[in-house]
Amino acid sequence: MKRILAAILVMVVMSGLAGGCGSASDKDGALRFWQFWDTGIVEPMIREFERQNPGIKVDVEQLTWKSGLEKIQAAVASGTEPDLCELGSTWLPRFSYEGVLEDLTAVYTEVADSFIMWESAEWQGKIYGLPWVQGSRALFYNEDLFVRAGLDPAEPPQTWDDLLKAAMLIDALSDDIHGFGLNLGERYVLYKKFMAFAWGNGGGILDQDGSVVFGSDENLQALEFYEALAQYSLKEKQEVLDHNFKSGRLGMQISGAWNLRNYAVEAPDLEYRVALVPRPSRASGSHASFAGAEMLVVFKNSERKVEALKLARFLQDYEQAKKICLEVKSVFPASKKVLDDPTFVEDERVRVFVEQSLTSRTAPAHPGWIDMEDVINRSIEEVLYGRTGARESLAAAAAEIEKVLERFQ
C-alpha cells in the first residue's frame, strides 16, 4: 500500500508540474524559482536580474498559501523541487532538519549584521535561509472609543495594567462594544497573540539550549494576565475581530500591518492608532511581539546552486525587497536599512511596525514546531474557555512539548 501511495504521489506531482515551470526548466535549462507573491510584482525584478546576468534565464511560479507548502513537500519527496524557493519562517526548520536545503552559513557570516530574523533559519549551528521580508504584530486601538471611555488617544496603553484598565472601561460602554479582541477557534493565530505577552515578560517556549520552558513562572504570569483580559474581550476568530474593529465596536486588538491597507479601503472613516504591544510594567519586561518572515532557500539537489544563490542575494537586496513591500503594503524588508528609510518611518502608524519588529520574536526554529503550536493553542484555549487552570494547563502543555522534542532526537 505504501508503494502504491508513493507512486500515486509521484504521478500527481509530475502531472501538476507538467504545465508549469518544471517542464519549462527541463527544456530550456532555466533556473526555477517558486514564490508566493503576485507574479506581476516579481516578474519585473526577475527580468532586471536576467538583464544584469546574461545567460541566466529564470522561470517563476506563483504558489498559493492554501496549497503551497504541500506542493513544496511533494516536490521534495519526488525529487522535483525548484532551485530557489520562498519559505515561511515557521516552515523552514522542518526542511532544515530533513537535510534538503543548502547550507548558507557562509552568506550569513558575510551579511549577518545587515538583516534581522536569522533565528528562523538556524538549525544545529548552521544557517539554511536568507531573510527576505518580515511582518510583526502591533496594538490597534479605536480613538473614538478611547475618548468615550475617558481615555486619551494620544496616550496608548504602555503596560499590562494600562491595557487591562482601557479594556475594562471600553467594554463597559455598552453591551455591543468590547474592550479587546482575543483570538479563539482557529489555527496559526492564537499563540502569536499570547506569546507577545509571554516573551515580553521574559518567558518562552524553548530556551537557548533547546529545553522546554513553557511551564515557567513568566509564562504563567502572562497567561493569568491574558485570562483577566479575556473578561473584557470579544473572543472570536480573526475575521470577526476585524469586522468589529472596522465597525467601531472593538476597542483594541493585536494585528498585522495588512490592516493598515485593509482599513484604508474598507473603513476609510475609521479613526484609529497603532502602538507597541504593552510591556508587563514600566520597570520590567519589553514591548515584545510575534514576527514572521519570508525566507529564500536553495535546495541541495539543485544543479544551479550558484545561480540560485545569486538570484536570492539579488532579491534580498534592500531595493528589491522594498519594491515588494510597497506593492503589498503588509510586510517590511528584513534589511535593517528600513530603519533609516523615510518611506517607512515618516507615517506614524507604519513606523510603529518597524519599531515593533526590533523587539519581536518568532517561533522556535525546530522541526516539530507545527505540533508544538497545536499544543500551545490548545492549552491557552482550555484556560480561556474556563476548562482548566493556567498553571495546570501550562504544565500539561510543557509535558506534551517534551514528547515532541523526543521524536526529533
- What is the number of residues in the chain? 409
CATH hierarchy code of domain 2-135+291-350: 3.40.190.10
For residues 2-26, give the mean pLDDT. Answer: 38
Which one-letter amino acid corresponds to residue 89?
Answer: S
Same fold, 2-135+291-350 and 137-290+365-406: yes
- Among positive and negative, which fits the CA dihedral 373, 375, 381, 384? negative
pLDDT tens figures, 354-375:
999 999 999 999 999 999 999 9
Which one-letter amino acid corresponds to residue 400?
Answer: E
Domain boundaries, the chain: 2-135+291-350, 137-290+365-406
Q: 187: pLDDT confidence band, cut at 50, 70 and 90?
A: confident
Q: 409: pLDDT confidence band, cut at 50, 70 and 90?
A: confident
CATH superfamily ID and name for 137-290+365-406: Periplasmic binding protein-like II (3.40.190.10)
Report the distance separating Cα 234 and Cα 70, nearest Å.
33
31-35 and 58-62: which strand pairing?
parallel
pLDDT tens figures, 43-88:
999 999 999 999 999 999 999 999 999 999 999 999 999 999 999 9
For 304, half-sphere exposure in the C-beta direction (CA atoms, 13 angstrom radius) is 22
pLDDT tens figures, 251-285:
999 999 999 999 999 999 999 999 999 999 999 99
Report the distance separating Cα 310 and Cα 317, nearest Å.
11
